[in-house]
């Protein structure tokens, strides 16, 4: 399996000018997904830890290209670093290289297209993609970890409240369907692990 080196990962984040708040998020996702995968492997699963670690580090590499210019104060409200105007100029130019309907996950997959397994995991971490039938187990686990890790571990309910505040209300029926799907995945994971999801924060923090 071909994967980027740590130096290549650093260079990708440097080139795409990944903001500090995004870097904090990806490190939180990495910590969570590797903990879950390691513990699941102890229960007989066979998650690829190297793939998951790198996918976590790069899953939001396309995210800045979808950022909208924020009015003053809005970035700070969501815990974001203030973004220099020239970064928005750069991201808007880079965004033109990809189809207009691409989600940030799909942009990431295109950026990483030379690494097919990695591109599959990165390219399927958006909410609407969790309903796809052909996802790898690594893609499903990363997608879930991304929803419960902001810069720290949160519950699914807390994350979806944040997303609603950030992006605005969604169709109620669709929102309920999405939450139910993630709850189904969560139950499957923690039934295998043998402890409740509520204990994850403490367990991750204590290693």
pLDDT tens digits for range 77-101 = 555 677 788 898 999 999 999 999 9
Choose from 16-25, 52-61, 72-81 the range with maximum mean pLDDT.
Answer: 52-61
* DSSP secondary structure, 20-76, as one string: HHHHHHHHHHHHHHHHHHHHHHHTT----HHHHHHHHHHTTTTGGGGPPPPPTTHHH
Q: What is the mean pLDDT of residues 102-130?
A: 95
Q: Which one has a higher pLDDT value, 199 or 4?
A: 4
Q: CB-based contacts of 106: which residues, under 8 Å, 6+ apart?
A: 62, 98, 99, 123, 126
Whole-number average pLDDT of the chain: 88
Q: Is the pLDDT of residue 7 over 90?
A: yes
Q: Which fold has domain 6-206?
A: Hypothetical protein af1432 (1.10.3210)
Q: What is the mean pLDDT of residues 13-37?
A: 95
CA–CA distance, 204 with 27 (Å, rounded to integer): 13
Q: Is the pLDDT of residue 193 over 70?
A: yes
* pLDDT attached to residue 14: 97
Q: What is the mean pLDDT of residues 137-154?
A: 91
* pLDDT attached to residue 161: 72
* pLDDT attached to residue 170: 60
* pLDDT attached to residue 93: 96
Q: Which one has a higher pLDDT value, 175 or 189?
A: 189
pLDDT > 70: what percent of the chain?
Answer: 88
Please report, for the chain, the start and end positions of each structural domain, with discontinuous segments joined by +: 6-206
Q: Band the pLDDT of 167: cuts 50, 70, 90.
A: low
pLDDT > 90: what percent of the chain?
Answer: 64
* pLDDT attached to residue 163: 64
């Amino acid at each position: 399996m071909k994967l980027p080196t740590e130096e290549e990962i650093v260079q990708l984040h440097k080139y795409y000018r990944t903001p500090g708040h995004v870097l904090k998020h990806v490190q939180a996702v990495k910590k969570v997904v590797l903990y879950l995968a390691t513990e699941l492997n102890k229960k007989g699963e066979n998650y690829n830890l190297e793939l998951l670690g790198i996918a976590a580090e790069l899953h939001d590499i396309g995210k800045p290209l979808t950022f909208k210019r924020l009015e003053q104060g809005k970035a700070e409200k969501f815990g974001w670093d203030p973004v220099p105007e020239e970064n928005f100029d750069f991201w808007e130019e880079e965004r033109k290289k990809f189809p207009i309907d691409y989600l940030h996950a799909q942009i990431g997959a295109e950026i990483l297209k030379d690494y097919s397994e990695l591109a599959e995991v990165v390219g399927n971490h958006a909410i609407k993609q969790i309903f796809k039938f052909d996802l790898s187990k690594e893609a499903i686990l990363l997608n879930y970890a991304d929803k419960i890790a902001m810069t720290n571990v949160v519950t699914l309910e807390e994350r979806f409240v944040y997303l609603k505040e950030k992006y605005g209300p969604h169709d109620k029926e669709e929102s309920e369907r999405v939450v139910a799907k993630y709850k189904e995945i969560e139950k499957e994971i923690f039934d295998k692990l043998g402890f409740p999801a509520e204990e994850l924060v403490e367990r991750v923090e204590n290693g």
